[in-house]
């Protein structure tokens, strides 16, 4: 189960402004009626992208210039709300490979890391710089450098922190913990054996 | 060295350190439901891994079940497909499933405690953010994503970084008409929706000592709304009494040993915390939200905020966004805001004590004309007990529709939904845009009795004025 070592994500980017973008906004609950995650991508941000008749509204993701973006930029407290993995799954299935925001809700951050999606934390003024650069030139190449903890764009760069354990997991191809957890199973049995409630 | 409950439970379940610095943590009890587990079973099949400890996973169905249709197939084929998938996954893997025929089905966070599956000193995980509810018993309970559900199914563990602990000490007594729901809304309004990031919240103080298990669950339930992934109350005699005689509680000599163990998990009196917040219970008033996150709350006597009160540009834009969405007038009293729907239920306030409290005050009163009012018990057991006590009749006579157990109108995954921009007085836990099933639907969170007051008056009202709320009441 060798995993890709994710040291950097490069592509074009799109800026979806706003704070407290919650998981209901990212993927409305009615689209969670599914037994697989396939196909969730098309419902990403559905209720802000589409009107009641299913026609496009003005939204960065509906803007032709940003259609091929693979990096998502946003504001503070991104991914708050529910623990549903449908949200990062929708982001990934839509085609995004990395997210930059002022900060992230805890569970969302963990879910993303487990899917190999780096979540980089940057200052608002710095994110605004990147946003301005992509607005000026939507094709500008943006890189989330996991190793150097920076976001590079054109000739410029901003600091972008990826929290310790997540950064390590991405860099070393351990972002999906299953293999390592599985190796620990014999020790799991030992710890469980001394807990009376687990004997049932 | 003295330790907090969090540290004791963590240490008892830590398997080993992982290469990335996280801990492989044993998850003693795993709860699953139909929305987040099918994909995890799919991943397990792809990896060709079995469920490691099938007896430690328990399933129920809550989000998609219609509360007014009992016979399958359900009108919604997608809902039926999720039901079938869960049933099949449980059968194939020997996982206990509290299906509707069992009479024990309900919202996962109500079923676990009811069955005595939720116990002190244990670790619990469930693919649902309100798993923090189970912390009321002195368990460390995490809401997790689907990939982690897979991890728990396959290895009974997950990779986690240790949390910091903030003690939130609430002392004194609540005024009459003030409820556990108001306590947590107060905490969230005070510390913010992100205030708990990176923390486990330990709820303590004389108020929590005097609280029933159901009140403790209401508060722990909404820890996540304050950004804390975990919330807990130290186990005490109240916890022990609640668990005695439950189907999954230990019996005989095992019971005595378990009680001793459980009480031993309580935080040591002189342990240290990463942060301490002290609140006076007397300062807590009936609270309602006015905005689009649970932190946008005020007391019932206050006016709807104006963006001018904002102390930052962010706050200003979030107030403007919320007012626009909620179609509320800044500066106007929240009291008197007309409502269209009243919803009693959810994993926050869908328990026996919630319905008992409402029934006590609403008897003989009527839901105002034109208001749709529904009462949805959190589990079949809650429903049966309410029916035994005649609570269903009292509520029906008042004009509430009495439904079957499920998440119902807490979120938009079953037929119970808001229509258009209807405004709902709701005893649930989230007021996000579109949360209750209409992209323009509006939610005001409040305690169950406040929902009842809104239902009978047709507008947001102070339950203390609508009903004769006398001496201190507990719910
Ligand atoms: S009642 Fe609401 S918050 Fe609770 S589990 Fe169901 S949908 Fe989630």
Q: Is residue B52 one of the residues assigned to a domain?
A: yes
CA-based nearest residue to B11, from B27, B25, B1, B22:
B25
The whole domain housing A103 covers: 8-175
Burial group, residue B309, by CB count within 10 angstroms (0-12, 13-18, 19+): exposed
Of the candidates B39, B76, B147, the beta carbon closest to that of A35 is on: B39
Of the candidates B24, B79, B131, the beta carbon closest to that of A33 is on: B79
Tally of residues, chain A = 200
Q: Is residue B475 one of the residues assigned to a domain?
A: no
Q: Sheet of B29-32: strands edge to edge?
A: B96-98, B57-60, B29-32, B123-126, B140-143
Q: Is residue B57 one of the residues assigned to a domain?
A: yes
- At residue B447's C-alpha, the angle toward residues B441 and B451, to 5°, is 55
* B325 and B446 assigned to the same domain: yes
Local confidence band at A11 (pLDDT 50, 70, 90 cut-offs)? very high
| Angle between helix B448-457 and helix B352-362 axes, rounded to 10 deg | 30
Task: Show which of B254, B275, B296 is a domain's final residue.
Answer: B275
Residue B100: both structure tokens together? 């509707």
Interchain pair A188, B29: CB under 8 A: no
Q: Tell me the best of B62, B65, B382, B403 to mutate to test the pocket of ligand 1, counting ligand atoms within 8 Å of each CB and taking the most.
A: B62
What count of CB pairs under 8 Å joins A to B?
Answer: 201
SS3 of residue A82 by DSSP: coil
**Per-residue b or e along B75-97, where b marks 16 or more CB atoms closer than 10 Å to that residue's CB:** ebebbebbbebbeebbeeeebbb
> B30 — phi, psi (to 5°)?
-120, 125
* B252 and B380 assigned to the same domain: no
Interchain pair B258, A196: CB under 8 A: yes
CA-based nearest residue to B132, from B188, B189, B66:
B188
pLDDT (0 to 100) of residue B474: 47
Q: Tell me the best of B106, B410, B412 to mutate to test the pocket of ligand 1, counting ligand atoms within 8 Å of each CB and taking the most.
A: B410
- At residue B209's C-alpha, the angle toward residues B180 and B260, to 5°, is 130
* B361 and B259 assigned to the same domain: no
pLDDT (0 to 100) of residue B468: 87
Residue of chain A nearest B436, judged by CA positions:
A29
Mean pLDDT of A165-194: 94
Q: Is residue B439 one of the residues assigned to a domain?
A: yes
Optimal mutation site among B434, B437, B438, B440, interface A, most CBs of chain A within 10 A: B434
pLDDT (0 to 100) of residue A200: 56
Q: Show pLDDT as tens, one digit a residue, over chain B (475 residues).
A: 999 999 999 999 999 999 888 999 999 999 999 999 999 999 999 899 999 999 999 999 999 999 999 899 999 999 999 999 999 999 999 999 999 999 999 999 999 999 999 999 999 999 999 999 999 999 999 999 899 999 999 999 999 999 999 999 999 999 999 999 999 999 999 999 889 989 999 999 999 999 999 999 999 999 999 999 999 999 999 999 999 999 999 999 999 999 999 999 999 999 999 999 999 999 999 999 999 999 999 999 999 999 999 999 989 999 999 999 999 999 999 999 999 999 999 999 999 999 999 999 999 999 999 999 999 999 999 999 999 999 999 999 999 999 999 999 999 799 999 999 999 999 999 999 999 999 999 999 999 999 999 999 999 999 999 998 875 444 4
Pocket, ligand 1, Cβ cutoff 6 A: B 62-63, 107, 109, 128, 130, 346-347, 407, 410-411, 428-429
* B258 and B161 assigned to the same domain: yes
The residues near B235 (Cβ < 8 Å, ≥ 6 apart) are B5, B120, B121, B137, B138, B262, B263, B265, B266
Element of type H or E holding B125 = strand B123-126
The whole domain housing B382 covers: 287-466
Q: Is residue B471 one of the residues assigned to a domain?
A: no
* B146 and B68 assigned to the same domain: yes
Q: Is residue B282 one of the residues assigned to a domain?
A: no
| 8 A C-beta contact, residue B333 and residue B415 | no
pLDDT (0 to 100) of residue B19: 87
* B214 and B319 assigned to the same domain: no
| 8 A C-beta contact, residue A159 and residue A126 | yes
Residues of B in contact with A85 (CB under 8 A): 36, 39, 127, 145-147
Looking up residue A141, the CATH number of its domain turns out to be 3.20.19.10
- What does the radius of gyration of chain B's CA atoms come to, in whole angstroms? 21
Domain total for chain B?
2
B 73-102: CB under 8 A from A: 76, 78-79, 81-82, 85
| Angle between helix B352-362 and helix B213-221 axes, rounded to 10 deg | 110
Q: What is the pLDDT of residues A96-153, one digit of tens each?
A: 999 999 999 888 999 999 999 999 999 999 999 999 999 999 999 999 999 999 999 9
Q: Is residue B280 one of the residues assigned to a domain?
A: no
Q: Sheet of B23-26: strands edge to edge?
A: B14-17, B23-26, B157-160
ipTM score of complex? 0.92
Looking up residue B183, the CATH number of its domain turns out to be 3.30.499.10
Separation of CA B110 from chain center: 8
pTM comes to: 0.92
Domain total for chain A?
1
Q: Sheet of B372-375: strands edge to edge?
A: B401-402, B372-375, B341-344, B423-426, B442-445
Interchain pair A180, B19: CB under 8 A: yes
> Given a cut of 70, is residue A1 above it in pLDDT?
no
Interchain pair A80, B314: CB under 8 A: no
The residues near A71 (Cβ < 8 Å, ≥ 6 apart) are A9, A11, A12, A13, A14, A96, A97, A98, A99, A100, A142, A144
Asked if the C-beta of B250 comes within 8 angstroms of chain A's C-beta atoms, the answer is: yes
């Amino acid at each position: 189960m060798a995993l890709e070592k994710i040291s950097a994500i490069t592509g074009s980017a799109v800026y979806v402004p706003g704070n407290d973008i919650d998981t209901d906004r990212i993927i409305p609950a009615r689209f969670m009626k599914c037994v697989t995650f396939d196909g969730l991508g098309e419902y990403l941000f559905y209720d802000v992208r589409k009107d009641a008749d299913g026609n496009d509204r003005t939204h960065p993701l509906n803007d032709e210039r940003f259609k091929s973006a693979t990096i998502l930029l946003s504001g503070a407290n991104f991914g708050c709300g529910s623990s549903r993995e449908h949200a990062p799954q929708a982001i990934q299935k839509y085609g995004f490979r990395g997210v930059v925001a002022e900060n992230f809700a805890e569970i969302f951050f963990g879910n993303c890391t487990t899917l190999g999606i780096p979540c980089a934390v940057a200052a608002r003024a710095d994110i605004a710089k990147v946003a301005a650069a992509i607005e000026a030139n939507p094709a500008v190449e943006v890189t989330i450098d996991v190793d150097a903890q920076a976001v590079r764009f054109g000739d410029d760069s901003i600091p972008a922190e990826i929290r310790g354990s997540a950064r390590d997991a991405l860099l070393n191809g351990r972002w999906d913990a299953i293999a390592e957890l599985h190796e620990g199973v014999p020790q799991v049995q030992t710890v469980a054996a001394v807990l009376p409630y687990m004997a049932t | 060295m003295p330790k907090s409950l969090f540290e004791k439970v963590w240490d008892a379940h830590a398997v080993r350190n992982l290469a990335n610095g996280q801990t492989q943590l044993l998850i003693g009890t795993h709860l699953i439901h139909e929305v987040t587990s099918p994909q995890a079973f799919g991943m397990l099949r792809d990896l060709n891994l079995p469920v490691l400890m099938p007896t430690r996973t328990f399933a129920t169905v809550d989000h998609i079940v219609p509360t007014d249709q009992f016979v399958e197939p359900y009108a919604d084929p997608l809902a039926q497909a999720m039901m079938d998938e869960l049933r099949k996954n449980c059968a194939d893997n020997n996982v206990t499933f509290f299906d509707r025929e069992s009479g024990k089905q309900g919202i996962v966070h109500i079923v676990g405690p009811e069955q005595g599956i939720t116990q002190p000193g244990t670790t619990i995980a469930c693919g649902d953010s309100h798993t923090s509810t189970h912390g009321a018993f002195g368990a460390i309970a995490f809401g997790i994503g689907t990939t982690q559900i897979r991890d728990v199914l396959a290895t009974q563990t997950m990779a986690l970084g240790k949390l910091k602990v903030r003690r939130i000490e609430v002392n004194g007594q609540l005024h009459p008409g003030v409820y556990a729901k108001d306590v947590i809304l107060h905490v969230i309004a005070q510390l913010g929706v992100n205030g708990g990031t990176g923390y486990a919240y330990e709820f303590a103080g004389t108020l929590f000592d005097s609280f029933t298990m159901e009140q403790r669950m209401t508060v722990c339930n909404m820890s996540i709304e304050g950004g804390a992934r975990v919330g807990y109350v130290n186990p005490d005699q109240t916890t022990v009494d609640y668990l005695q005689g439950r189907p999954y509680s230990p019996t005989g000599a095992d019971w005595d040993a378990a009680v001793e163990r459980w009480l031993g998990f309580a935080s040591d009196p002189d342990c240290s915390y990463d942060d301490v917040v002290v609140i006076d219970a007397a300062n807590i008033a009936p609270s309602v939200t006015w905005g689009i996150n649970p932190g946008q709350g005020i007391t019932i006597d206050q006016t709807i905020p104006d963006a001018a009160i904002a102390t930052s540009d962010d706050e200003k834009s979030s107030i403007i966004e919320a007012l626009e969405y909620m179609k509320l007038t800044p500066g106007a009293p929240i009291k008197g805001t007309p409502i269209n729907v009243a919803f009693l239920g959810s994993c926050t306030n869908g328990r026996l004590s919630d319905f008992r409290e409402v029934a006590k005050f609403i008897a003989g009163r009527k839901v105002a004309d034109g208001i749709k009012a529904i009462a949805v018990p959190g589990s079949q057991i809650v429903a049966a007990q309410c029916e035994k006590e005649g609570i269903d009749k009292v509520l029906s006579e008042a004009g509430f529709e009495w439904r079957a157990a499920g998440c119902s109108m807490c979120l938009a995954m079953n037929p119970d939904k808001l229509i258009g921009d209807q405004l709902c007085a709701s005893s649930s836990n989230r007021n996000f845009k579109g949360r209750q099933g209409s992209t323009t639907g509006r939610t005001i969170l409040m305690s169950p009795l406040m929902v009842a007051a809104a239902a009978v008056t047709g507008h947001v009202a102070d339950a203390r004025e609508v009903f004769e709320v006398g001496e201190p009441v507990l719910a």
